[in-house]
Structure 1
Amino acid sequence: MTAAARGGPDWWRGGLLFLCVVTLFATVDATAKHLVGRYPAPFLNAVRYGATLAVAVAMLAGSGQLRFWRTPHRGLLVLRGLMLAVVGTCFMTALLWMPLAEATAIYFMAPLMVVGLSPWMLGEKVGPRQWLAVGAGFCGMLLIVRPGGAVSWLGTVLMLAATLAYAMLQLLTRRMAGQVDARVQYGFAALICMVATGVPAPFFPPPVWPDLADWLAILAMGLMSAAAQVLLILSLQRAPASRLAPLNYFHLLLALVYSALWFGRWPDALALAGIALIVVAGLTQTLPSSAALSTKRGTP
């Protein structure tokens, strides 16, 4: 059994990197919610991924890997890039009709999909403790959003598409861990996303061009997305996707904080109970089991 599987140092490093990933993604989502009411989603995504591609090209040029298309596993890399493009496009478009917290909550069916698909796509073993933790986190999510109310059906469909794509993105990243350099994975994703979002962008020009503050916010989305993608690859090289999946719920907590402080949507008592349940569920995966600790103490 590897150190990552036992919850050793590699897994702890992977978990911390993954927390940085979800923090960056949550900030990108909140910024997108702030901007998407004024500017079309295709325009925002094109500028965002243009900045991301510029960072990717600079990184690959600095490492002498600018001809990254010669790498093996090109089919999986293209598929991974398309999944990221679907996530960005569907999520941002859904924010036109849905509040940030509700949209993010639907998005967090992704950990369930990762856990459910990882045994078949990756051959990873998923134990009862992981299923229980993810199920508890899902129940906490239901307490927060209490679906069945006035949630847009179109926004829900878009968010479900983004959810499935994000789960596939994590699984594909884990599948190529150790086989394809992280910078090459990132370069492929940036290029595919730029093409996929850049093609429709000319058909959706902004009614008014952004001022300096909004341009900075849009570019910041691209830079944060770039950093998150690199850290996501590094985290999944250090820990199984199914073990990191419950940490995705930290993104939901941040979405609630942003909703409260940025958009004025404060959680009620049931939502706070849901938050507590999600935190407990995440901690059961973040902390190593007693068996792992006993094994570690007994190792010379």
Structure 2
Amino acid sequence: PFESALVRVGRSGRVSVYTGAMAMGQGLKTILAQITADQLGVRPEDITVVSGDTSTVPLGLGGFASRQTVTAGNSTYLAAKAVREKAIAAAAALLDVPPDNLRIEDGVVREPGKNLSISLLEIADSLAGAPGYKLAAGVSPGLEAAINFETSALTYGLGVHAVELEVEPNTGGVKLLNYVIVNDCGKVINPQTAEGQIHGGVVHGIGNALFEWMGYDENAQPFTMTLSEYLLPTAPEIPPIDVQLVEYPSPKNPLGVKGIGESGTVPAAAAIVSGVEDALRDYKVTIEEIPVNPAKLFELIRRPSATAR
């Protein structure tokens, strides 16, 4: 239902983002740095993102269910926006200019066209307080903001998967030739990480469809315990994957983003099984269970009235 974010500009001028969300390889730190950088006019690489550390942020729900960009992304966006507004308000008081005249660029608040500016470092230092000096009028101490964005409903990406494949009826072998995805991610924060996440999801889905089978004996003990028994797709089994991102921003959150963490995986098995059935339409093969390994498929080809169970 929510995620936490704290955006802080320290007295050194360093920008930090703290969130209860969990970074686990999905590019979370990259997009939170980008979102913050867009608001504060600094480079993403100059921002430190700390995630999933209860010593810095006590609240957080973790990484699951295609939610991180929707929840943590919007919390970070709103917190960074609040810090931006506070920095401009403080600069306006310190420089004695209207706040509407000020812009933030390269970590500096300035009035365009005039030789008048103050850095985020100087603003943060002034708002940290010093004995004998008062803060800028109307501005509270510290250049930071914490937001727990709560959404009434998570939003998910909509996608279409198409696969081109070949089936060798004499062996039951399946060869994937080409894979195309068109995916609506809402507003795309980072196209490279979005495409990469969908790529990874598709590979996972290929494993679900053709390789990954968990076997148990009569005592309910697993016997597919190593990678020689529990098969995973490797590079030779992966076809060229073409990802086309389309953007239809969500009206459910300020950033307009949608979750795509599972959109690469969920449709993949259905697309592949449909392709196999189409390739074997002359054999009247119907597949009702995955993964579809060559032995199972060969049996179905030989007994076209049977189904995979």
Normalising by structure 1, we get a TM-score of 0.24
Larger fraction in helix = 1
Larger fraction in strand = 2
Normalising by structure 2, we get a TM-score of 0.23
By relative contact order (CA 8 Å, sep 6+), the higher-ranking structure is: 1
